[in-house]
Amino acid sequence: MDERFSINIPLAKNDLTKLEHIENMLKGYKDSIYAVSNTLDSMGPGTHELRHSIEKDAESVRNVAKTTHKMKESLEDIIRLYELSEAKVKGDCVQGIAVVVDKVKDIINDGKEMFENALEKGQDKSNHYVIFNEIEDENTRYGFSSSYKETIQKLYDDVPKEYSGTRDLYDKHIKNLKVATFKSEDRDGNSSPYESGGVLYLNEEADLDNLRGNGTTFFHEYGHFIVNQEGWLNDNKATGTFKEFEDSLRKEVGQYIKRYEDQYREEGISKGFSGLMLDKYMEAKTSAALKKDILGSDNKYTHVNDGVSDIINGVSNSKYRPDYGHNDGYWEENQARVPNEAFANIFAAQMTGDEVELAKIREIMPETYEIYLKMVREAA
């Protein structure tokens, strides 16, 4: 018997075993992909497109498995043919097996790539298929609407990659979160949200018609939730890196405000003002300049950079309010509210992808922003 040919008898049978293993492995890939798809199916609204995409990948892997099965059957035919007539197949067997094995390698690589792609598509969402634990307000019994859930979910899904650390910090505490909804009429027309004791109290109607951007309030209040969960406040005082964040915030924003105040104080002096009249002139001109710089207009209420406006309002202790801010007395009641609100504003800007506001934050308070990123890295 030809030596080369006799050596390939066990090789052919060995490759038949390999093909059986490959077929089973591909079926495992298919089942795993369907498992990801089924997980997505339980997530509810906002995941249908992803689920259908993954199911298409699973179907492709299933077809690859069927092809592998056919190749296994062909290899069985070759072996049977050899057993019947070695003279007929001895010239083709070695070459045929090599071709089959090469094709199987390609199929396996394609199958792995399909599975990995499908898994990558579903991985981020499958771990976070519920972005908040819904509870009803004990008095009103209102639940969140599907449109509000989808709005929040889409913002979460679309967080820019450069802010993935912020989303990781979001994920860290999600299991501890509770939310309650209320309507304005239940609080005498008051739609103001708040965070208390690990519960976010939200008016979804207001957040779905939010001039700051739909869903912004949810992520802003979640920022406060993180501050409390991380224990960055002790007896209403910032501690550790959060204190470093506060000190930098007050310094940089204070310097930003002071540049305008110095400019208009000198201008007022040149116009002959002094005393109380000079102070009023300086404050009026500084207020107008801040509004123009923050909003891009000196006479239009535009709701641009509302978070930055709120930070200026806090650092100046309500002296200046370019746009959005809090009522008089809010900052005086608790000085820790300044870093708390600032953190929540930056957190919400990243989670909603508000690049305009983030650019302004980096312009006015670059050191503070870097400390914020450091806090997120350390906590996440």
Residues 306 and 314 sit within 8 Å (Cβ to Cβ): no
Of 29 and 280, more confident = 280
3-state SS class at 374: helix
pLDDT of residue 155: 92
Flag whether pLDDT at 364 surpasses 60.
yes
Q: Would you kindly state where each structural domain of the chain is located, as residue ranges? A: 3-126, 130-380
3-state SS class at 213: coil
Flag whether pLDDT at 339 surpasses 70.
yes
pLDDT of residue 114: 58
DSSP string, 68-95: HHHHHHHHHHHHHHHHH-HHHHTTTHHH
The predicted-structure confidence for 223-266, as pLDDT tens digits, reads as follows 999 999 999 999 999 999 999 999 999 999 999 999 999 999 99
In sequence order, the 6+-apart residues with CB closer than 8 A to the CB of 84 are none
Using CB atoms within 10 A of its CB, is residue 236 exposed (0-12), middle (13-18) or buried (19+)?
Answer: exposed
pLDDT of residue 4: 37
Of 192 and 293, more confident = 293
Residues 78 and 93 sit within 8 Å (Cβ to Cβ): yes
- pTM (two decimals): 0.65
The predicted-structure confidence for 83-132, as pLDDT tens digits, reads as follows 544 444 445 555 555 565 566 566 566 655 655 555 554 444 434 434 55
The predicted-structure confidence for 62-81, as pLDDT tens digits, reads as follows 666 666 666 666 666 655 65
CATH 3.40.390 correct for 130-380: yes
CA-CA distance, 340 to 318, in Å (whole number)?
16
- H or E element at residue 282: helix 275-295
